[in-house]
Amino acid sequence: MKISVLTVFKSVILVTVLGVMALGGYVAYKNLPDLLNEFTKSVRSPAVPSGQEVIVSIPRGCSLSQVGTILEQKGVISSRLVFKLVALIRGGQCKIKAGDYSLKTGSDAGEVLDLLVSGQTLMFSVTVPEGYNLFQTADLLHKKGLASKEDFLRRAQDSAFVRELGLEGTTLEGYLFPDTYNFRYSDRGDVTAIVTRMVRRFQDVYDKHVRATAEKYGWSESQVVTLASLIEKEARASEHGLVSSVFHNRLRKNMRLQCDPTVIYGIKPMGSKITREDLNRNHPYNTYQNPGLPPGPIANPGRASLIAAIQPDDKPYLYFVAKNDGTHHFSTTLREHNNAVNKYQRGVPGPSVPPQSIGPTAERGSASAGGAVRATSN
């Protein structure tokens, strides 16, 4: 009797289906005691008042059974067996997203599963402003409840850790990129995770194109970030390229940068009034006393400042003074600069030290890059 190919194919399909059913029945039979035991445990679980908010962390790689156990232990669901069955029926067991969730006790298993599949995790959002230094960032994260100030500073000033991240310098000043970050609830207190996240963001911005441009001009990463931090503290609006041109021109002419914020870095909070004592204090970061760049960054610069540091505007400026409207007047000569000082600072309360007496000498007092005519740093 001749058997058609179709008949053979149907027979194979039938045998396969029966085999799968038999295997499924066998697996169910073998696991029945465990399922019954699990159900019994669920029924015996103590009742938890409904409606109480709890934070539940679902680790990455967690199995469906483990997720159900976590939820049951937290009182979110009454039965992990029911949760597993719902997940199996819906096919959602492989779609649960890891993360931290805000859930309520006594919730419906299906609703909980929907939330876990949606990935609507609990996050802490924090914006680190451009120009914040290490200490200001530590204060901000402490106030947000993400990390203690002491732990953050200890980690960010750990030179061995800095080297592990592949960075130059002894601290992470300048490399904690200012941006808006969304941290997981479980990241709280994990300063290593927080700091690493911010450094990785810096490395995303300081990419191969920025690095190549810097190397073209013979600048190291540390030098670029240091100069960018000065630009960040001085520039307003779209002035980054102009401020950068002033600093580049001064460096080429071996003029001291005389950048106000460097005077009080690590000594006073940024924004403090600058005094004669500050200007005359001999410390490594004081660009009124020392030529060239300071030994390291004084703040964490944003993208615009990093780009400006390696791509200054092609301008001959050597000075700038605040116009009291959020911008600066830029000058090429000392005479022009002094005229601008008289124009824009007349009638405005002057610094604690008269401009003509600020700086290395009385004559050079008003010849600073821009900070000598202001009472406070940026």
Weakest mean pLDDT among 33-37, 116-120, 259-263, 315-319: 33-37
Query: How does pLDDT run across 71-118, given as a tens digit for each residue?
Result: 999 999 999 999 999 888 888 666 899 999 999 999 999 999 999 999
Residue range 220-246: mean pLDDT, rounded: 96
Is domain 51-121 given the CATH code 3.30.70.3040 in the classification?
Answer: no
The pLDDT confidence band at residue 346, using thresholds 50, 70 and 90, is: low
The pLDDT assigned to 350 comes to 41
Higher per-residue confidence, 126 vs 15:
126
The pLDDT assigned to 274 comes to 85
Query: How does pLDDT run across 157-201, given as a tens digit for each residue?
Result: 999 999 999 998 899 999 999 999 999 888 899 999 999 999 999
Higher per-residue confidence, 119 vs 21:
119
Residue range 112-129: mean pLDDT, rounded: 92
The pLDDT assigned to 9 comes to 43
pLDDT of 364 strictly over 60: no
For residue 308, give both structure tokens. Answer: 């400006």
Weakest mean pLDDT among 33-42, 134-143, 199-208: 33-42
Every domain of the chain and the residues it spans: 51-121, 123-205, 234-367
Residues near 101 by Cβ (< 8 Å), separated by ≥ 6? Answer: 55, 56, 57, 58, 115, 116, 120, 121, 122
Residue range 263-280: mean pLDDT, rounded: 87
